[in-house]
Structure 1
Amino acid sequence: MSTFLVESKNRIKRQPNRGHYDKATIYQIIDEAMICHVAFVQDGQPFVIPALHARKDDQLLIHGASTSRLLNHIQAGNVVSITITIVDGIVLAKTVFNQSVNYRSVVLFGKGRLIENEDEKWQSLAHLTEQLMPGVWQTARQPTTTELKATSLVSISIESASAKIRSGPPKDSGEDQMLPVWAGVLPVKQIIQTPSTADYTDPDMPIPDYVMAYMAEKNKDDAGSLPEPK
């Protein structure tokens, strides 16, 4: 299906007009964001853990140390809830009550499994790495057998999800619109700044083409922020 079933756990209850249940919208937000937050309950204690993620079809990939409490919880087949948020603007109104932000957010639910097959684990790690920085998997040294054993990778089935989006100007109304206070939107965008070369790397080594391509894509509306290639 191209749309998630609307049920009690994923239904947008407050301002439902901002809700979206189609996979195209939800997956676009997941793919654009760099970080997700995974919520789970263990022995009656709630936890929320930030993690890098990558989507592969209807699965969300997360990796970490083999001793990770989060990954051990997921691989046991327990349900988790995951949130993702992108801030697009600071909304300044003429009244304190109407201050807000423009945002795109996703809440999803699903169960996961440990990826144990060696080929699948290798391919999934490559996918996760390429999601973070396209081109680096084939350039950097790839994982050793020891490193692979120390790393767990889980695949979480996206069983239920919804997105909530706010966009547009502030919502002052009536006489408040006449107040002598500035109102408007400050657009917010994540950009990539000038790379800082590690001190153990030849300072004359040029920035890799894949890094420059990534920066050009992320900063395409902010050309002045691109560094000069060496």
Structure 2
Amino acid sequence: MTEGASTPSYPLSSRNRVKRRHDRGFYDHATVHRILDASMLCHVSYVIDGQPYCTPTFFWREGTRLYWHGSSASRMLEHQAEGQKVCLTVAHLDSLVLARCGFNHSADYRAVMAFGTAYLVTDPEEKQRAIVAMVDRFFPDRTATLRPSSTQEIKATSFIAMEIEEASAKVRAKGVADDDEDYELPIYAERIPVRAVLGAPEPCPRLLDGVTRPSTLDGYSEGRLLEDALRDAYFAEYPAG
């Protein structure tokens, strides 16, 4: 759905409206959030002194708010802490599309662009919650089993948050889509699915005797799609979505 009156959606503007192939555009919370929650990695774009930058970083979502973290000495975080406008993107490559002409070669994908104003998390309670969330959002209940972060580790880590002001998703999921007359040509065409699949866990060789893999990590099992594991972990931590 692109714009539904009964469905919570992000507002449309010239900034987030999908202009080319608008039929692939989605603005509803459900679609945008589902794409975001299927990833750990995002790219944050911003401008410092007229120079554009784009930084990859780990992130997570809480409702309509996004969080990411980094070193307190990071120039990126220092700049974003000043309340700068940023654009955060996530993209998933779902398939390679080989058509009957070069122009129609394509890819199936899901992507999100989210816009907002970044701010440094300074509230002690919110920062403590973020310290837990950056682990438990991906690995539910793990923080409680870990050594507590030291004062220096906490001091060295900064968190940036951004309320999503506007966002759009763009999705292609149609495989080969040739011109009608091209289907009569004796040319091979296909769709090649692309998936991020988990491998077999490799325990640390320095584990103490008797330390075993906890059942809370069962969601990250060999052969499982990463995005399925990430989504399940999200809803384990945030049941309300």
Question: Runs ≥4 in structure 1, deviation > 6 angstroms?
Answer: none
| 1:47 correspondence with 2:75 | no
Match of 2:180 among 162, 174, 192: 174
| 1:210 correspondence with 2:222 | no
Q: Which residue in the other structure is 1:191 paired with?
A: 197
Q: What is the SS of the residue equivalent to 2:76?
A: helix
Q: 1:217 to 1:174 in 2, by over 3 A?
A: closer
Note the 1:5-20 alignment, pairs <5 A: 5-20=11-26
Cα deviation, residue 205, structure 1: 4.2
Match of 2:105 among 90, 99, 105: 99
| 1:164 correspondence with 2:177 | no
May I ask how many residue pairs the two structures share in their alignment?
222
Gaps of 5+ in 2: 1-6, 229-241
| 1:201 correspondence with 2:201 | no
* Cα distance in 2 between the residues matched to 1:221 and 1:81: 22
* Cα distance in 2 between the residues matched to 1:89 and 1:134: 30
Contact 2:199 2:223 in 1 (8 A): no
Q: Which residue in the other structure is 2:73 paired with?
A: 67
| 1:145 correspondence with 2:151 | yes
* Cα distance in 1 between the residues matched to 2:16 and 2:44: 16
Q: Which residue in the other structure is 2:116 paired with?
A: 110
Identity %: 35
Q: Which amino acid aligns with 2:213?
A: I
Q: Which amino acid aligns with 2:53?
A: F
* Cα distance in 1 between the residues matched to 2:8 and 2:18: 18
* Cα distance in 2 between the residues matched to 1:33 and 1:165: 15
Q: What is the SS of the residue equivalent to 2:192?
A: strand
TM-score, normalisation: structure 1: 0.89
Gaps of 5+ in 1: 223-230
TM-score, normalisation: structure 2: 0.85
Write out per-residue CA displacement over residues 24-77 of structure 1, whole angstroms, 9 at most, x where no aligned residue: 110111111111000011011111000100101111001110011111111100
Contact 1:103 1:166 in 2 (8 A): yes
Write out per-residue CA displacement over residues 73-107 of structure 1, whole angstroms, 9 at most, x where no aligned residue: 11100100111101111112122221111111001
Q: Which residue in the other structure is 2:128 paired with?
A: 122
